[in-house]
Amino acid sequence: MLFYYLNLTGIFFFTLSGSLAARDKKYYHDYFGVFFTGFITAIGGGTLRDIILGAYPISWIEDGNILLSIIGAFVVTIFFKNYIIKLRRTLFLFDTVGIGIYTILGVQKSLEHHVNPFAAIILGLISAVFGGVIRDILINEIPLIFAKEIYATACIAGAVVYVTMLYFNVDSSVAASVSMALIIIIRIISVKYKLSLPKFDFGNETKD
């Protein structure tokens, strides 16, 4: 039951993230554009994960509460946007909470389908970041996983900790809480202190 409500919470935050990102673009004036961007941000990663796992029907098609969560977040965005955008780095915070929740949910669902732990970690990453990738492409931004910021790495770190804690028989709720918190903390610290992974050096190109 905990994971179910966490899933709805993650959906809610991702919808807010996508809707606010769309609203920031001047060419997204209509409500449908904002709603669709929030919708695809919320279900994109989970849908791809379910397709890879062969988990049918896909979660948002089977469970109407997911759609209600998306609609609820969209309504909040529309009616309380002036309050939300006053919060410092609102989009960043919503996205960070979303990836923290969805990474662990993706790992947990993957393990339930009896995939190996390494594949579960990758599927957790896919669950967390691919909705945001689609969102950024739609609004003509460079996806965060290709930026200098520590983003996907935070998800992988949290997923590894979660799988490791389960291996040592730590209660799943405790493991999930610790791992989600770790992802959120790594992401916040990396942005605050401008931390990033070393840049890949292609070397100096020489002309013939």
Residues 6+ apart with CB under 8 A from 157: 182, 183, 186
105 in any annotated domain = yes
Q: Note the pTM of the prediction, 2 decimals.
A: 0.86
Judge whether 23 lies within some domain.
yes
- Give domain status of residue 203, yes or no: no
Q: Is 49 left (phi over 0), alpha (psi -120 to 50) or beta?
A: alpha
Domain membership of residue 53 as a residue range: 2-192
Scanning the chain, the segments in alpha helix (DSSP H) are 2-23, 31-53, 59-62, 64-84, 90-112, 117-138, 152-167, 172-192
The reply to whether 62 falls in a domain is: yes
Domain count for the chain: 1
Please list, in sequence order, all residues whose beta carbon lies within 8 angstroms of the beta carbon of residue 123, skipping any fewer than 6 positions away: 49, 52, 53, 106, 107, 109, 110, 115
Run means of pLDDT, 10 residues per run, the chain, 208 residues? 82 86 69 90 94 92 94 89 66 83 94 96 95 90 79 94 97 94 94 79 55
